Chains A and B, each alone.
Chain A
Amino acid sequence: MNAPVDESYSQRLARRFSRDALALTGFWLIILAFVLAALAPFLANNHAIVRVADGQISFPVLRSLEPIEWRFLINVPLAGLIYALRRPLFRNPQRGGLIVAVVVIVVQIALAFVQPYNDVTNDRTRPATFKLMPLIAWSPLESSPDALVGPSWNHLCGTDSTGRDVAARILHGARTSLAIGFVSQVIALGVGVTFGALAGYYRRWVDMVICRFIEVMECFPSLLLILVIIGLSDSQNNMIVIMAVIGLTGWTGTARLVRGEFLRLGGQSFPQAAQALGAGDLRVILRHLLPNSLGPILVTATFGVASAILLESSLSFLGFGMQAPTPSWGDLISEGRRFIDFAWWLVFFPGVVMLVTIMSYNFVGEGLRDAVDPRLQVK
C-alpha cells in the first residue's frame, strides 16, 4: 500500500474509494438513478420524442415539459458547461465573468417565458408517418383501461388499480424520492456537523446549551413534529418544505456523533500541536478534527438518506407528503399495499428500486468510511 508522495486528503479518498468495487458500483448506480430521474420525461411519456406527420417534423415531448423541468434541464447542463470551460473563460476574469453573467441572465429570461403546456394528445394512438416513442410509452398519470394487469411488454412493471403504468410512475417518482433523500440529508448533515463541532470543540456552556437543545429535539417524536410543521406551513405540495423539515428534525444523531468524536480527538495532542503551529479554531476544526471524524459521520449520513426516503413515504401514507401528481416511491408502495394479495408488482418493483438505491447509498457510505481512514487496509 504505497501512497503517492504527499497526496492530499481528497486524492487519497478518490484513490482508495476507487479500489472498492462495491462502493464504486453503488456510486455509479446512484449517479445512474439521478440521471434517469432527470430524464424521466424522455423515458416515460405518451408524447413522442420525434414525430413526423403531414411532412412536418416535431418534438412533442418538449412541449410536455413543465417550466420547472425546463429550468432544470437547461440550467444543470449550463452549469456543467461553465464549469468545464472555466479555464479558458476566466483567463481574463472580467471578460469571463461578464460572458457568464450575460449568458446566465439571457437564459433565465428565456426560461421565464416557458409556458406550461397542457397537451392531452396521446402520440401512442395518434397516427403519424414516423414516430419515436419513449422507452415507456406511458405518462405517469395516464390511465389505461387495463387496471391491475401484471408485467407485460406493454406495461413493463404492470399497472395499478386505475390502470396507470407502474414503470412510468417509478421513474417519475424517483425525482421526489431521490431529491428528498439527498437534500434533506445534506441539511441534516450541515446542521448536525455544525452543532456537534461547536459543542465538542468549545465545550463548557456551548456544549451545555447544544446538548440540552438536542435533548429537547429528541423528546418530540419526529414524525409528530414534522406533521405539525407541515400542517402549520400550509404548503403541503411544497417539496422544499418537506426536505427542510426532514433535514431539520434529523440532525441530532449526527450532532451527537460529531460531538463525541471531537471530544475523543481533543484528548489526543495533534489538535494542540496544530495550534502550536499557528492554526486557528476554524482551521483546527476543519483540517484536523473533522477529517478525523468523517468516517462514522458519512456512514450515518448514508443511513440518513435511507431513512429520509422512508420517512417521506410515511408522510405520504398519512397524506402529508408530496401530493399527486408526482408520486414518490413511498406513495407507490403504500398505494400498492392494498392490492398485495393479487398484484404483487405494485409493491415489488418500487420496493426493489428503493432497496437498490438505499443499499447503494450504504455501500458508498461504507466505502467512504474505509477510504477516509488511512489506518484501515483497503481490500
Chain B
Amino acid sequence: MSAPLLRVENLGIEFGPADAPVKAVDGVSFAMAAGETLAVVGESGSGKSVTALALTRLLATPPARYVSGAIQFQGREVMTMPAPELRALRGKQIAYIFQEPSSSLNPVFTIGYQIREAIEQHRPEVRDVRGEIVRALDLVGIRDAATRLGDYPHQLSGGMQQRVMIAMALACQPNLLVADEPTTALDVTIQKQIMDLLRELKSKTNMAILLITHNFGLVSDFADRVVVMFRGKIVESGPTAEVLRHPQHPYTRALIECVPKLGQKQRRLKVIDYAGIN
C-alpha cells in the first residue's frame, strides 16, 4: 500500500464526567488508501458514528473529549489543524452523508439553494452552477430534478431527503466520502441504485469511501476491507472476503450469524450471546 490517504492512530474519545467517563472510542487505529472502500460494522452504540465525526473534529467539545490519538489526512495532522484549514478540509476533502437525513437539511432553504451553496463554496470554478445542481440530483435518481429544486426539505420523503444529502456530499467531489448508514431510509431498489452510483463514482474519481453499516450484504458486495467495532474498540479487521469467511473474533462470528441468509431455513433468528464474548 502506498502512502495512505487517511491514517487514524490510537483515537480515544470520551463522554460524560471525567471521573466516570464513557469511552465511546477507545484506542482505534486504521488506515485507508485513496480509492479504497472501508466498511465499519458493529452494533448500535459501538462508536462508529463518533469515530466518523472525529475524522474532521466535528464532535462538539463538550460533551465529547478527544483524549488521545492522531488523525492524518493526506499527510496533514487533523487534530492540531487550525480552524480555517479544517473548514477547507470539510466538504471539499472529506464529505459526510449523515445517519439522519430528515434533520440534516436546513428547513428554511430550498434544496436547490442548499446544493448551490455547497457547490459555490467548494468548487468556485464551476460555471453552470444550476446545471451542476440538476446533474447532482439526477445522479442520485431524483426524477424531474429541475422542477424539484424549489422544494423545501419538508416537502420530500425521507428517502428523497437522504438522496439530496448524498447529492450535496457528492457535489463537493471529495476525496473521502464518509457514509454513515447511507441507505437505511431507502427501499431496496433505490439502495442498490445508490450503491451502484457510489461504486461507479469511486472507479471514476478514485474517491475513497468509509462505509458505516449494519448490512453485511452491502459489506460483502462493496467493501475492500472491513473493520469490526465492539464497545469502542476495533476487534477485528482485514480484507472483506477473509473476515467474512473466517471471522476470528467471537463477536464478529455472532454478528455474521445473526444475518438471515436467503434460501436457508431457520426457525429463529440468532441472538448475540454476550456472555460468550470477552
Interface residues of A (CB under 8 A from B): 2-9, 12, 204, 268-270, 272-280, 287-288, 291-292, 372-375
Q: Are A269 and B152 neighbours in the complex by a CB distance under 8 Å? A: no
Q: Mark B89-113, 1 if CB is under 8 A from A, else 0.
A: 1111001101010011111111011
Q: Are B152 and A3 neighbours in the complex by a CB distance under 8 Å? A: yes
B58 at the interface (CB under 8 A from A): yes
B150 at the interface (CB under 8 A from A): yes
Give chain B nearest CB distance to A275 CB in angstroms: 6
Interface positions, chain B 98-147, Cβ under 8 Å from A, are 98, 100, 103-110, 112-113, 116-118, 121-122, 130, 133, 146-147
B83 at the interface (CB under 8 A from A): yes
Give chain B nearest CB distance to A297 CB in angstroms: 13
Considering only CB atoms, which chain A residue lies closest to B92 in the complex?
A278
CB<8 Å pairs between A and B, sample of 17:
A4-B150, A5-B112, A5-B146, A6-B113, A6-B150, A269-B103, A270-B103, A273-B105, A273-B165, A277-B90, A280-B83, A280-B87, A287-B106, A288-B106, A291-B109, A292-B108, A373-B108
Given known contacts A275-B90, A277-B121, A375-B152, what 20 new A-B pairs fall within 8 Å (CB)?
Answer: A6-B116, A6-B150, A7-B150, A270-B104, A272-B98, A273-B104, A277-B117, A277-B168, A277-B172, A278-B88, A278-B92, A278-B121, A280-B87, A287-B117, A291-B109, A292-B108, A374-B107, A374-B152, A375-B107, A375-B154
Contacts A270-B104, A273-B96, A273-B104; is A204 near B62 (CB within 8 Å)?
yes
Give chain B nearest CB distance to A272 CB in angstroms: 6
Using Cβ atoms and an 8 Å threshold, which residues of chain A touch B91?
276-278
Give chain A nearest CB distance to B13 CB in angstroms: 16
Considering only CB atoms, which chain A residue lies closest to B133 in the complex?
A6
Q: Are B87 and A279 neighbours in the complex by a CB distance under 8 Å? A: yes
Give chain B nearest CB distance to A17 CB in angstroms: 14
Using Cβ atoms and an 8 Å threshold, which residues of chain B touch A273?
96, 98, 104-105, 165
Q: For the complex, give the distance between the alpha carbons of A280 and B87 in Å.
A: 7
Give chain A nearest CB distance to B123 CB in angstroms: 12
Residue from A269, A270, A287, A373 having most chain B Cβ neighbours under 10 A: A270
B79 at the interface (CB under 8 A from A): no
Interface size of B as a range: 35 or more
Q: Are B56 and A292 neighbours in the complex by a CB distance under 8 Å? A: no
Contacts A270-B106, A292-B106; is A5 near B95 (CB within 8 Å)?
no
Contacts A270-B103, A277-B168; is A9 near B108 (CB within 8 Å)?
yes
Give chain B nearest CB distance to A96 CB in angstroms: 27
Considering only CB atoms, which chain B residue lies closest to A1 in the complex?
B155
Contacts A5-B150, A276-B96; is A372 near B87 (CB within 8 Å)?
no
Using Cβ atoms and an 8 Å threshold, which residues of chain B touch A3?
110, 150-152
B149 at the interface (CB under 8 A from A): yes
Considering only CB atoms, which chain B residue lies closest to A293 in the complex?
B108
Q: For the complex, give the distance between the alpha carbons of A374 and B152 in Å.
A: 7
Q: Which of B53, B87, B95, B149 contacts A6 (CB 8 A)?
A: B149
Using Cβ atoms and an 8 Å threshold, which residues of chain B touch A279?
87
Q: Are B154 and A374 neighbours in the complex by a CB distance under 8 Å? A: yes
Q: For the complex, give the distance between the alpha carbons of A269 and B83 in Å.
A: 20
Q: Are A276 and B95 neighbours in the complex by a CB distance under 8 Å? A: yes
Contacts A6-B113, A270-B104, A270-B107; is A276 near B92 (CB within 8 Å)?
no
Using Cβ atoms and an 8 Å threshold, which residues of chain B touch A277?
90-91, 95, 117-118, 121-122, 168, 172
Q: Are A275 and B58 neighbours in the complex by a CB distance under 8 Å? A: yes
Give chain A nearest CB distance to B175 CB in angstroms: 14
Q: Are A5 and B149 neighbours in the complex by a CB distance under 8 Å? A: yes
Using Cβ atoms and an 8 Å threshold, which residues of chain B touch A2?
150
Give chain A nearest CB distance to B17 CB in angstroms: 15
Using Cβ atoms and an 8 Å threshold, which residues of chain B touch A9?
108-109, 113
Q: For the complex, give the distance between the alpha carbons of A287 and B116 in Å.
A: 14
